[in-house]
Amino acid sequence: MTHTRVISNSCIGVLRVLVLAVSAASATANAQRGVTPAPRDTATSTPISTRRDSLESVIVRATRTPTAPMAAKQTITREQLQHSAAGQDAPLVLASTPSATVYSEAGGYSGYSYIRLRGIDQTRLNITIDGVPLNDPEDQVLYFSNVPDFMGSIGSVDVVRGVGASTFGTASYAGSLNFQSVPLATTPRAGQVEFTGGSFGTWRTSVQGATGVSTNGFAAHGRFSRQGTSGYRDHSGNDSWSSFGSAGWFSDRDALKMTAFAGSSGTRLAYYAASEDELKVNRRANPLTDQEGDRFHQEMVSLQYARALTSQLNATVMTYRNSAAGTYDVSYGPSASGKGLDIANYGLAHVWYGATAAITWSASDISVAAGATATDYHRDHWLAMRPTLTNRDYTNIGVKRDAAGFVKLSWDRGPLRVGADLNLRHADFRYHPSSGAGIPALVVSWNFANPRAGVTWTASPSVSLYATAARTLREPSRGDMLSGADDINSGNVAGLLPLTRVHPEEVNDYEAGLVWRGTSASLTTNLFDMEFHNEIAPIGALSGTGSPLRKNVPGSHRRGIELDGSYRLGGLGMLTGNIAFMDAKIDTYADVANAVTYHNVAPVATSPVLANIRWEVPVSGAWSAAIIGRYVDKAHLANDGNNALVTPAYTLVDLALRYTRGMSELRVELNNALDANAYGGGYADGTKRYFYPIATRNVLVTVKLATGGAR
Output the pLDDT for position 34: 37
DSSP string, 28-50: HHHHHTTS-PPPB-TT-SSBHHH
Output the pLDDT for position 59: 58
Structure confidence at residue 109 as a pLDDT band (50, 70, 90): confident
637-682 per-position pLDDT tens digit: 999 999 999 999 999 999 999 999 988 999 999 999 999 999 999 9
Q: How far apart are the first and last CA of the chain?
A: 36
10-338+349-708 in CATH: which number? Answer: 2.40.170.20
CA distance 323 to 564: 38
**Sheet strands (E) in 543-632:** 548-568, 574-591, 596-601, 609-620, 623-632
Output the pLDDT for position 3: 44
CA 75 to chain centre: 13
Q: Could you tell me the CA-to-CA distances from 153 to 79, 149, 183, 616 in Å, in that order?
A: 12, 8, 11, 24
Pick from 450, 452, 453: nearest CA to 425:
450
Quickly count: other Cβ atoms within 10 Å of residue 414's Cβ. Answer: 8
Question: Once rounded to an integer, what is the mean pLDDT over residues 15-26?
Answer: 33
Q: Is pLDDT above 80 for 8?
A: no
CB 350 within 8 A of CB 325: yes
24-38, 108-122, 545-559: the lowest-pLDDT one: 24-38
> Which uninterrupted H or E stretch holds 90?
helix 90-93
Structure confidence at residue 239 as a pLDDT band (50, 70, 90): very high
Torsion of CA 453, 457, 458, 460, to 10 degrees: -160
Output the pLDDT for position 398: 97
CA distance 117 to 528: 13
Radius of gyration of the chain (CA): 25
Output the pLDDT for position 663: 87
CB 298 within 8 A of CB 323: yes
Output the pLDDT for position 251: 84
35-49 per-position pLDDT tens digit: 333 343 433 445 545
Pick from 274, 90, 119, 84: nearest CA to 632:
119
Helix/strand/coil (H/E/C) assignment for every residue in 368-395: EEEEEEEEEEEEEEEEEECCCCCCEEEE
CB 607 within 8 A of CB 632: yes
Output the pLDDT for position 62: 58
Q: Is pLDDT above 70 for 691?
A: yes
Structure confidence at residue 72 as a pLDDT band (50, 70, 90): confident
pTM of whole model > 0.95? no
Torsion of CA 229, 235, 241, 242, to 10 degrees: -100
Output the pLDDT for position 709: 65
Question: Once rounded to an integer, what is the mean pLDDT over residues 528-540?
Answer: 95
Q: Is pLDDT above 90 for 18?
A: no
Residues 6+ apart with CB under 8 A from 346: 2, 327, 328, 329, 330, 381, 382, 383, 486, 545
The DSSP bridge pattern shows strands 175-181 and 125-129 to be parallel
- Which of 311-315, 542-546, 705-709 is the most confident on average? 311-315
CB 106 within 8 A of CB 95: no
Identify residue 123 by its one-letter amino acid code: T
**Residue 648 backbone dihedrals phi, psi, to 5 degrees:** -60, 150
**Residue 67 backbone dihedrals phi, psi, to 5 degrees:** -85, -40
* Helices 10-32 and 48-56, axial angle in degrees (round to 10): 120
Pick from 644, 653, 692: nearest CA to 676:
653
Output the pLDDT for position 31: 37
Question: Once rounded to an integer, what is the mean pLDDT over residues 448-460?
Answer: 95
The DSSP bridge partners found for residue 514 are: 465, 525
487-512 per-position pLDDT tens digit: 999 989 999 999 999 999 999 999 99
Q: Is pLDDT above 60 for 9?
A: no
CB 254 within 8 A of CB 17: yes
Q: Is pLDDT above 70 for 167?
A: no
Instruction: Write down the mean pLDDT value for the chain.
Output: 88
181-209 per-position pLDDT tens digit: 998 988 899 999 999 999 999 999 999 99
Output the pLDDT for position 65: 56
Output the pLDDT for position 117: 97
Q: Is pLDDT above 50 for 629?
A: yes
10 Å CB burial of residue 249 (0-12, 13-18, 19+) is buried
393-424 per-position pLDDT tens digit: 999 999 999 999 999 999 999 999 999 999 99
CA distance 353 to 316: 17
10 Å CB burial of residue 337 (0-12, 13-18, 19+) is exposed
The DSSP bridge pattern shows strands 521-542 and 366-385 to be unpaired
Identify residue 66 by its one-letter amino acid code: P
**Residue 253 backbone dihedrals phi, psi, to 5 degrees:** -125, -10
Segments in 391-533 forming alpha helices (H)? 478-481, 493-496
Q: For the chain, what percent of residues have pLDDT higher than 70?
A: 88
> Which uninterrupted H or E stretch holds 18?
helix 10-32
Question: Once rounded to an integer, what is the mean pLDDT over residues 560-577?
Answer: 96
